[in-house]
Amino acid sequence: MNTKHEGIVRTWVCQIENDNYVVVFEWDTRKHMVKALNKKYWNVRGPKCNKNTRAAYHTFRSNTNARTLKIKPLRYGEIHVVKDDYGVGVAAHEIQHIVCNYALAKGWDMERDNEKIALISGDMTYWFWIGQQKGQ
C-alpha cells in the first residue's frame, strides 16, 4: 500500500514468525480507511468494508493460494485500525484472523500444533502493542 494515502497516521510492523510479518496501518478516520480499502486496485483479498468497519485484516493475493496453501516469506498482509477506535479486543480479533489463516497456510493441525499457534498469537500480540507504542 502507498503509505502516502490520505488519512494514514502511522504504520508499524508486527512479526508473525521467522521472516513473516504484517504491516499495521493506523488511520485518522473510518471514512479514510474504508475508502482506501475499497479501492479496486488494492492487491488484497477479503470482504469489502462499510462505514461500520472498525478494523480490517487482509492477506496479499500473491502470498496465499487457496489450492496449495503456500506462504511466500516476508510481508504476509496488513492490519488496518482507526486511531482512538481500537483496543485490546479489536487488536486480538484481527491478530486471530492472521494466526488462523497463517496456520492453515502452513498446514498446521489445531490439536497437534496448538502450542505453536498459541505462541504465535502471544508473540503477535506483543509485537502489535510494542509497535503501537513506538509507531513509525
pLDDT values of the chain reduced to their tens digit, one per residue, 136 residues: 445 678 999 999 999 988 889 999 999 999 898 888 887 545 555 556 777 788 988 876 555 554 455 666 678 889 999 999 999 999 999 999 999 888 888 889 999 999 999 999 999 999 999 998 886 5
The enclosing H or E element of 35 equals: helix 30-37
Cβ neighbours around 55 below 10 Å, total: 21
pLDDT of 135 reads: 66
Look up residue 130 and give its three cell numbers. Answer: 510494542
pLDDT of 41 reads: 44
pLDDT of 66 reads: 45
pLDDT of 39 reads: 73
CA nearest to 19, candidates 109, 135, 102: 102
pLDDT of 54 reads: 86
Q: What is the CA radius of gyration of the chain?
A: 14
80 in Cβ contact with 33 (< 8 Å): yes
pLDDT of 75 reads: 83
